Every structure is written in structure tokens, then in C-alpha cells.
């Protein structure tokens, strides 16, 4: 080795150490006053579930569904009502028909007061409405200075549709399915929020990685430029190679500027979605612990059928179609309603007389309706309902097959991603080590700038492939949770936490 070569290599080593020392001093002097908040993937998801606009909307929907179901339940419970008029005063001239058939205008000056107390109960299985009531009326005639009472102290009755459509029976079947669907749908919304937050997390992590790579590339390019300037003075580098190194510095600056802008845009999108302060400075941490799961496809399919809202939803659609078909057929023929009451009634000029010698009152009424000629309107309604019923059955079958196929495909894809992730991680480590070796060889004059750029491209591509593999794995992880509503790590279904109990 010649003296000149020894001096050149010694000078190059000195140039490598000086930038590191300067960078350390600069870092110590110029600490960012706004320390970024470090966030993991789980912390981002927790924020999204607790405070994101999408989460608040889902909670509001669940609240609305609860009260709808509560209203349905109360409609089949006994209802007690008290209503009346206190008072109903009238002062007017009214035409009164006389015993001989003539009409004479008489002055009416009276007040009516009434009260009615009723108890009602519907029997959903038969559509029967049962009721019990008690009422009283008082009339004060100020023209004749008299007081009269009329009362039904006790009365029971029923209203029974015959041959008609019983909507209550179908409602009692359908509404519980709608409630179950809303509960499972809420949990699905929570998992969807987690999935969307995961997507935005890795979008930001990806551009955050680009920023880190761009900063490191700029630092290395600037160090290479300093070495190239020394080589140029010593005449051991061509003009073409020197200009390519000089250009690499400008390219690195442009790449850093572009990556920084993309990082700000991605950070804004993530913070907007999870409902956090837009001015908060955040820095994402790459997930370190990866759950090693192998999902049994048959188990995933079984859990999906058990836990997902599609199961009660498809049942509900079939029941609604069957309900509409039967309603069209029932309304096409004879319909009748039976009304019957039994009770006591009496009149008197004081309250005491109302209970003396009360008379029994009974009433039975049967009303019916038979379509005679409607020019085929009823028949066409029946055919439309039957056609729609068949169409719904076909659509439900297609939805069921599509749903099961999606679960199976997602479970099989997930099982392949863990091995792919391990391979990408090893490739990233190999490419990073290879670039460091290539950088040292170039700075020692044992590697061309072309080979260094190739190594740099391999390092960047491997790092991006690894981040993309991470993103694919976690997206698939939360996707399979959405499709099955099952936690395969804890081996338990995901249950919606609803504090309201019916």
C-alpha cells in the first residue's frame, strides 16, 4: 500500500466521523419543543372506538334500536288509561224535533262532565283485544236547574277479527329478529371502526417510513458528497460520478420534502377519523408483537353463522316476505270482526242511585266485508306478493352463499399472511445490512455509485414491502373479526356491551 493511498483512506475515515459528531451536536441543540405522542396500533383503535364520530353514530343507532324494541315489547303489555272531559260546557240554540214531528229551536245551556277508566290487553297469537272499563257522566242543565248521572260501573268486552290478517302475530316474530340484528350489527360496526382505524394507521406508518428513509438517504448522500469533494481534489473520481453524487443530494431533498407533505396529509386523515386534536403531534410505533394464529376455516364459518347479523337478517327477510304473501291472501276474501260487551249501566239524579238497581247491558256485533267485483285487483296483489316471496327466497339463498364464501376465502388468506410476513421481515433485515455494507464499501472506494444506488433501492423496496406485509396481516386480522365476530386469540365471541336490560 502506497503512502498516498494510506493518506486518502485516513482522510475518508475522518470525513465519516465529522458528520456524525456534527449531527449529534445539532440534535442536542435543536430538540423539538413539541414532543410527539407515541401511539401503538391498539391505542389508535381504542381512541377510534371511544371518541370517533363513527363510533358516536353507532352508539346512537344502538340506542335508537333499543327504544324501538322496547316500544314493541310494551305494545303487548296491559295498558291502563284514564280520560275524560272536565267540563264540556254548551250554551246555544239547537233545533229540537217535537213529538208531533215539528222542529222547534230551544235554548240549550248545559255542562257535561265525563270520566272513563279502561284496561286493555292484546293477545298477539289470535289478534284478540280484551278490555275492561268503567265510566261515568254528569249533565248539568242550567235551563231546568237539574242534574243527571249516567254510569257504566263495570263493563268487559272483546274485539276479535275473523278470517282476517293478524299483524300482531307476525310482528312478535319479526321484531326480536330485528333487535338481534341491531345488536350484532352494532358489534360489527365496532369491528369495522377498528378495521378502518387500522387502514389509516398503516397509511400513516407507510409515509412515516418514507420520511425516515428519506432522512437517512439525505444524510448518507450529504456524507458521500463530502467524500466525493475530497476525491475530486485528489483527482481519484470522474466528473460524471461526482455530478451523479451531487444530484443524489438534491433528489434526496426532494424525496424528503414530498414524504413530509404526505405524512402531514396522512396524519390529518388519521386524527380526523379517531376524533383526536388535529394539532397534536403523533408518531406511530410499528407493531412488534404479531399474534401467531392458524384459523380453522370450519370454525370461522360456524362462528360467522352464529354471531353475525346476517343470520337473523335473512330470517327476518323471509318472514317479512311470508307475512306479505299471507296478508295479500287474507285480505282477498271474507273478513269479519266480532265485538261483544257485557256490563252494568244505570242512570240517576245522584251518585247513590247509580248503584241501585243497575241494569245489565249486553252487546254483540258481527261485521263482515266480502269483495264482490274488483276487476282482478285482489288477485293481482296476491300474485305480486307470491312472486316477491319467491324472489326474496332466491336473494336470501344468494346472500347466504356469498357470505359463507367470503368467510372461507378470508380465513384461508389470513393463514397465508403470517408466513409471508416472516419472509418480508427477514428480507428487510438482509436488505438493510446489505445497504450498510455497500455504503461502507463505496465510501472506502471499493464500490461504484451505480451498485450503491441498486443497494439503496433494494433497501427501500424491502422496507416498504415489510410495512405493506404488516398492513396486510393486520387488515386481514380485523377483517376476519368483522366477518365472524369472534376473537380467535381468546377463543370467545365478541359480545356487544349493552348496559340496558329489558
| Least confident window among 7-16, 333-342, 445-454, 458-467 | 7-16
Give the model's confidence band at 498: pLDDT under 50 very low, under 70 low, under 90 confident, else very high: low
| Cβ proximity of 407 and 399 under 8 Å | no
Between CA 485 and CA 312 the distance in angstroms is 14
Instruction: Decide if pLDDT at 30 tops 70.
Output: no
CATH code for 32-66+173-316+394-493? 1.20.1600.10
> Residue 379, Cβ neighbours under 10 Å: how many?
12
State whether the Cα torsion 281-286-292-294 is positive or negative. Answer: positive
Q: Point out which residues pair with 137 in neighbouring strands.
A: 114, 150
Q: Give the chain's length.
A: 502
Least confident of 213-217, 277-281, 383-387, 426-430: 383-387
With 0.85 as the threshold, say if the pTM is over it.
Answer: no
- Evaluate if residue 270 carries a pLDDT over 90: yes
Rg (CA), the chain: 41
Q: At what angle do helices 377-443 and 297-307 cross, to 10 degrees?
A: 130
What's the pLDDT tens digit per position in 457-497? Answer: 888 888 888 889 999 999 999 999 999 999 998 889 987 55
Mean pLDDT for 214-223 is 88
- pLDDT tens-digit map of 124-152: 888 888 989 988 888 888 878 888 888 88
pLDDT greater than 80 at residue 359: no
- What pLDDT score does 21 carry? 40
- What SS3 class is residue 37? strand
What pLDDT score was predicted for residue 496? 58
The whole-number pLDDT of residue 3 equals 40
The residue among 385, 234, 384 whose CA lies nearest residue 320 is 385
pLDDT at 16 over 60: no
Cα separation, 263 vs 206, in Å, equals 9
CA 382 to the chain's CA centroid: 37
Per-residue confidence (pLDDT) for residue 235, from 0 to 100: 82
**What one-character DSSP code corresponds to residue 275?**
T
DSSP bridge pairs for 123: 128
Q: Where in the chain is the domain with CATH 1.20.1600.10?
A: 32-66+173-316+394-493
Nearest to 143 by CA among 171, 118, 109, 179: 109
The rounded distance, in Å, linking the Cα atoms of 199 and 266 is 11
Q: How do residues 51-94 score in pLDDT, each as one tens digit?
A: 999 999 999 999 999 999 998 888 888 888 888 887 788 888 88
Strand, coil or helix: 102: coil
Amino acid at each position: 500500500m502506497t503512502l498516498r493511498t494510506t493518506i486518502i483512506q485516513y482522510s475518508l475515515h475522518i470525513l465519516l466521523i465529522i458528520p456524525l459528531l456534527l449531527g449529534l451536536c445539532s440534535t442536542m441543540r435543536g430538540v423539538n419543543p413539541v414532543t410527539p405522542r407515541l401511539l401503538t396500533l391498539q391505542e389508535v383503535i381504542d381512541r377510534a372506538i371511544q371518541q370517533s364520530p363513527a363510533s358516536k353514530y353507532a352508539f346512537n343507532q344502538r340506542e335508537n334500536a333499543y327504544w324501538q324494541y322496547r316500544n314493541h315489547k310494551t305494545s303487548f303489555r296491559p295498558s291502563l288509561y284514564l280520560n275524560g272531559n272536565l267540563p264540556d260546557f254548551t250554551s246555544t240554540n239547537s233545533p229540537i224535533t217535537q213529538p208531533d214531528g215539528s222542529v222547534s229551536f230551544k235554548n240549550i245551556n248545559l255542562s257535561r262532565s265525563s270520566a272513563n277508566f279502561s284496561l286493555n290487553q292484546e293477545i298477539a297469537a289470535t289478534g284478540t283485544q280484551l278490555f275492561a272499563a268503567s265510566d261515568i257522566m254528569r249533565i248539568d242543565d242550567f235551563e231546568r236547574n237539574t242534574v243527571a248521572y249516567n254510569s257504566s260501573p263495570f263493563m268487559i268486552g272483546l274485539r276479535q277479527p275473523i278470517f282476517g290478517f293478524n299483524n300482531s302475530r307476525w310482528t312478535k316474530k319479526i321484531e326480536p329478529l330485528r333487535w338481534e340484528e341491531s345488536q350484532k350489527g352494532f358489534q360489527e360496526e365496532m369491528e369495522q371502526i377498528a378495521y378502518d382505524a387500522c387502514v389509516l394507521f398503516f397509511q400513516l406508518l407507510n409515509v412515516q417510513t418514507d420520511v425516515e428513509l428519506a432522512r437517512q438517504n439525505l444524510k448518507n448522500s450529504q456524507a458521500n458528497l463530502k467524500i466525493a469533494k475530497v476525491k475530486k481534489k485528489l483527482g481519484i473520481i470522474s466528473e460524471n460520478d461526482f455530478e451523479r453524487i451531487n444530484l443524489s443530494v438534491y433528489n434526496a431533498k426532494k424525496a424528503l420534502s414530498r414524504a413530509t407533505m404526505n405524512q402531514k396529509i396522512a396524519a390529518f386523515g388519521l386524527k380526523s377519523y379517531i376524533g383526536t386534536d388535529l394539532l397534536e403531534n403523533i408518531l406511530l410505533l410499528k407493531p412488534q408483537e404479531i399474534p401467531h394464529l392458524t384459523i380453522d376455516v370450519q370454525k370461522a364459518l360456524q362462528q360467522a353463522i352464529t354471531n353475525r347479523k346476517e343470520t337473523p337478517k335473512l330470517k327476518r327477510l323471509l318472514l317479512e316476505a311470508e307475512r306479505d304473501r299471507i296478508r295479500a291472501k287474507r285480505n282477498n276474501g271474507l273478513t269479519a270482526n266480532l265485538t261483544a260487551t257485557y256490563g252494568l249501566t244505570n242512570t240517576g239524579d245522584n251518585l247513590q242511585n247509580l248503584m241501585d238497581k243497575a241494569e245489565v247491558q249486553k252487546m254483540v256485533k258481527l261485521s263482515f266485508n266480502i269483495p264482490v267485483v274488483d276487476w282482478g285487483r285482489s288477485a293481482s296483489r296476491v300474485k305480486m306478493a307470491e312472486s316477491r316471496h319467491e324472489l326474496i327466497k332466491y336473494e336470501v339463498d344468494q346472500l347466504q352463499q356469498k357470505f359463507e364464501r367470503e368467510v372461507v376465502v378470508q380465513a384461508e388468506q389470513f393463514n397465508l399472511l403470517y408466513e409471508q410476513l416472516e419472509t418480508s421481515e427477514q428480507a428487510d433485515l438482509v436488505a438493510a445490512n446489505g445497504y450498510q455494507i455497500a455504503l461502507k464499501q463505496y465510501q472506502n472506494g471499493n464500490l461504484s455509485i451505480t451498485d450503491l444506488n441498486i443497494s439503496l433501492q433494494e433497501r427501500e423496496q424491502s422496507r416498504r414491502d415489510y410495512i405493506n406485509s404488516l398492513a396486510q396481516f393486520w387488515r386481514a386480522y380485523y377483517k376476519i373479526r368483522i366477518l365472524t365476530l369472534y376473537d380467535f386469540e381468546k377463543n370467545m365471541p365478541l359480545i356487544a356491551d349493552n348496559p340496558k336490560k329489558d
